[in-house]
Amino acid sequence: MLESGEQFGRYEIRSQLGAGGMGEVYLAQDTALNRNVAIKLLNDGLCENQEHLRRFRQEARAASALNHPNIVTIYEIGESNQAQCFIAMEFVEGSNLRRLLEKRKIRLKEALDIAIQTASALAAAHAASIVHRDIKPENIVRRPDGLVKILDFGLAKQTIFPVQSGKIDSEAITQAKISTMPGTIMGTPQYMSPEQIRGKPIDVRTDIWSLGVVLYEMITGSLPFDGETRTDVLAAILQTDPRPLSVYKPNVPVELEHIVKKALGKDCEQRYQVVKDLHLDLKLFQSELDSSIEISKSGSFLVAGASATHTQTESHLKSKHSVTSGRRLWLTTSALVFLLAAFFGYYSWRQYQPAKTNYSASLLASSQITSWKSDLGESAASRARLSPPDGKLVAYVASNNGINSIWLKQIGGGGEPFTFAQDDSTKKSPIFSSDGERIAYISERGERRGIWTS
Distance CA 175, CA 47 (A): 20
Let me know if 340 is exposed, middle or buried by CB neighbors in 10 A (0-12, 13-18, 19+): exposed
Catalytic residue numbers read 134
| Burial group, residue 293, by CB count within 10 angstroms (0-12, 13-18, 19+) | middle
Question: What interhelical angle do 108-127 and 275-298 show, nearest 10?
Answer: 150
Least confident span in 29-38, 174-183, 385-394: 174-183
- Looking at residues 107-123, what average pLDDT do you find? 97
Query: So what's the pLDDT on residue 248?
Result: 95
What pLDDT does 401 receive?
65
CA distance 345 to 270: 42
Query: In the predicted model, is pLDDT for residue 99 greater than 90?
Result: yes
Domain boundaries, the chain: 7-90, 95-285, 299-352, 353-454
pLDDT the model gives residue 370: 35
Question: How confident is the model over 329-339, as a mean pLDDT?
Answer: 51
Q: Residue 147: what pLDDT?
A: 97
pLDDT band at 345 (very low <50, low <70, confident <90, very high): low
- Higher-scoring residue by pLDDT: 154, 67: 67
**Of residues 59, 89, 57, the one with CA closest to residue 73:** 89
Q: Quick one: pLDDT band at residue 324, thresholds 50, 70, 90?
A: very low
Q: Greater confidence, 297 or 395?
A: 395
Band of pLDDT at residue 250, cut at 50, 70 and 90: very high
Higher-confidence position of 394 and 372: 394
* pTM: predicted TM-score of the whole model, two decimal places: 0.61
- Pick the range with the lowest mean pLDDT from 65-79, 174-188, 414-428: 174-188
Q: Please report the pLDDT score of residue 203 as a whole number.
A: 92
pLDDT at 141 over 70: yes
Whether the per-residue pLDDT at 54 is higher than 90: the answer is no
Q: Which CATH number is associated with domain 7-90? A: 3.30.200.20
Query: For residue 281, what is the enclosing H or E element?
Result: helix 275-298
On the CB side of 175, CA atoms within 13 Å amount to 6
User: CA-CA distances (angstroms) from residue 247 to 210, 217, 241, 438?
Assistant: 21, 13, 13, 41
Q: Which residue has the higher pLDDT, 353 or 153?
A: 153
Does 192 have pLDDT greater than 70? yes
| DSSP-assigned letters across all residues of 116-172 | HHHHHHHHHHHHTT------SGGGEEE-TTS-EEE--TTTHHHHH--EETTEE-HHH
**Residue 194, SS3?**
helix
pLDDT at 1 (0 to 100): 78
Confidence at residue 211, expressed as pLDDT on a 0 to 100 scale: 98
* Amino acid making up residue 29: Q
Q: Is the pLDDT of residue 158 over 70?
A: no
Q: What is the pLDDT of residue 191?
A: 95
Q: In one letter, which amino acid is 79? A: E
Q: According to the CATH classification, is domain 353-454 in 2.120.10.30? A: yes
**pLDDT exceeds cutoff 90 at 118:** yes
Q: Rounded CA gap, 161 and 166, in Å? A: 11
- Looking at residue 198, its pLDDT comes to 92
Distances (CA, A) of 328 to 166, 309, 324: 66, 19, 6
Residue 382 has pLDDT above 80, yes or no: no
Model confidence at 43, pLDDT cuts 50, 70, 90, reads confident
pLDDT at 56 exceeding the cut of 50: yes
Mean pLDDT of the 325-336 span: 48
Mean pLDDT over 40-55 rounds to: 75
Mean pLDDT on 144-160? 73
- Rounded to whole angstroms, the Cα distance separating 152 from 156 reads 7
What is the predicted pLDDT for the residue at 38?
Answer: 92
Residue 343 in this model has a pLDDT that exceeds 60: no
Bigger pLDDT: 374 or 102? 102
Task: Give the contacts of 163 (CB within 8 A, at least 6 positions apart).
Answer: 51, 55, 169
| Mean confidence (pLDDT) of the chain | 74
Query: Tell me, which fold does domain 95-285 have in CATH?
Result: Transferase(Phosphotransferase); domain 1 (1.10.510)
pLDDT band at 295 (very low <50, low <70, confident <90, very high): low
pLDDT at 208 over 70: yes
Report, as an integer, the average pLDDT of 96-119.
95
Q: How much of the chain exceeds pLDDT 70, in percent?
A: 65
Radius of gyration of the chain (CA): 26
